[in-house]
Amino acid sequence: MTTTLAPSTDRASRPTGIPGPSPRGRKPRPVGGLVGSVALWAYAAGALVPLVLMVLNSFRTTADLYNKPLSMPWPPSVDSYKVAWTEGHFGDYFLNSLLVTVGAVALSTAVSTMAAYALARTRSRIFSVLESVFVSGLMLPIHLAILPVFYLLDGMRLVDSRLGLMLVYAAAGVPFSVFVLTTFFRQLPPELEEAATIDGANTWQTFVRIMVPLVRPAVATVVVFRFVPIWNDFLFPLVLLRSREKYTVPVGLTSFFGEYSTNWSALFAGLVIATVPLILLFLVATKQIVAGLTAGMSK
């Protein structure tokens, strides 16, 4: 495992013999100067314009899209949202996605926090074996097990159910969540628990009242970071769900694109509806997302 966030400073230690001019006082200049800045903002525009077009086009009528493809949507029309939300059943899809995602993230985070605490605080062979079992899950491409997952859920009468989907996502999130949370629990001093024990708290009380509040930032990171891939996932609901009223947003989107292939503004509205929760999440938790992504990358 390479930890990307902390490149080993020992190897990069100062070569001896070079007279060290103090870099302090003089600010290192950015690479590229003004041209660099322009390039960076230009690329930012390139990254955002397609998404902006998606939003703008959802507020236009399909006739406008065809006749004036490059004009602004004025006055904005919300008809396409009405079509998508009701006729296109996005109301249902949205609720299903929310239910499955929130349920899976909650379950996954709860069991992973418990497990991570135990793994961080016990020193015995069996626990280090268990830890490597969990962490090895980071390398397993779970989508390749879709057939056995299908038959497993079939045997449990959980095919075409939101609960089945939720359980699969919750389990798939365990490796990452355990990995991040264990690291955080290890950083907490054991004296905290000793003090709690002296005060008469049992292990469970210590965990819930003292330890969990202390790792709240890590829990937030795990929650945000798991929310995104579950909300976005396509293969599991495509295979595991049958009835339209149980579809999550990505599968619902696919059937909507099949049915409404000529109603362009409604299609754009569908795409926006599918994306709104992520944008909201992003606005409230950018810091957590960035932290989560870097934590995920250091594996």
Partner 1 sequence: MTRRSGLFFVAPALILFGIFVLYPMASALSYAFFSWQGTARGGFAGLDNFHALFTQEPFRSQLPRAFGHNLAFFAGTMVVQNTLGLGIAVLLHRRPRTRRALQTLYAMPYLVSPIVIGYLWTLLLSPTFGPVNALLRQVGLGSLAVPWLGDPDTALWVVILVSAWQWVGFPVLLYGAALGGVPEELSEAARVDGASHWQTFRSIVFPLLVPAIGTVSVLTFIFAMEAFALPYALGGSTGNPAGATDFMSLLFYRTAFENGSTNAIGVSSAMATLLFLVIFGGAVIATRVLRRTEERIAG
Subset of residues 88 to 147 that bind partner 1, contact rule: CB under 8 A: 107-108, 110-112, 114-115, 117-119, 121-122, 124, 126-127, 130, 133-134, 137, 139-147
| Length of the chain counted residue by residue | 299
Residues in region 55-74 near partner 1 by CB under 8 A: 57, 65-66, 69-70
- Residue number, 19 or 200, with CB nearest to partner 1: 19
CB of 218 to partner 1, least distance (A): 16
Residue 50 binds partner 1, judged by CB under 8 A:
yes
Count of C-beta atoms within a 10 Å radius of residue 49: 11
Residue 2 binds partner 1, judged by CB under 8 A:
yes
Residues that contact partner 1, how many (by CB under 8 A): 112
CB of 74 to partner 1, least distance (A): 16
The binder of partner 1 chosen from 235, 244, 245, 259 (CB under 8 A):
235
Do 210 and 196 meet the contact criterion of CB atoms below 8 Å apart?
yes
Half-sphere exposure (CA, 13 Å, Cβ side) for 56? 15
Tell me the residue type at 60: R
- 231-267 burial, b at 16+ Cβ within 10 Å, e below that, comes to bebeebbebbbeeeebbbbbbbbeebeeebeebbbbb
Residues in region 262-291 near partner 1 by CB under 8 A: 264, 267-268, 271, 274-275, 278-279, 281-282, 286, 289-290
CB of 86 to partner 1, least distance (A): 20
Q: What is the CA radius of gyration of the chain?
A: 25
Rounded to the nearest 5°, which phi and psi values hold at 105?
A: -65, -40
Q: Which two tokens stand for residue 164?
A: 């089945």
Residues in region 163-202 near partner 1 by CB under 8 A: 167-168, 170-172, 174-175, 178, 193
- Residue number, 7 or 213, with CB nearest to partner 1: 7
The binder of partner 1 chosen from 241, 253, 266, 269 (CB under 8 A):
253
Residue 207 binds partner 1, judged by CB under 8 A:
yes
- Residue number, 92 or 173, with CB nearest to partner 1: 173
- Residue number, 18 or 198, with CB nearest to partner 1: 18
Tell me the residue type at 53: L
What is the Cα–Cα distance from 160 to 179, expressed in whole angstroms?
31
What is the Cα–Cα distance from 126 to 132, expressed in whole angstroms?
10
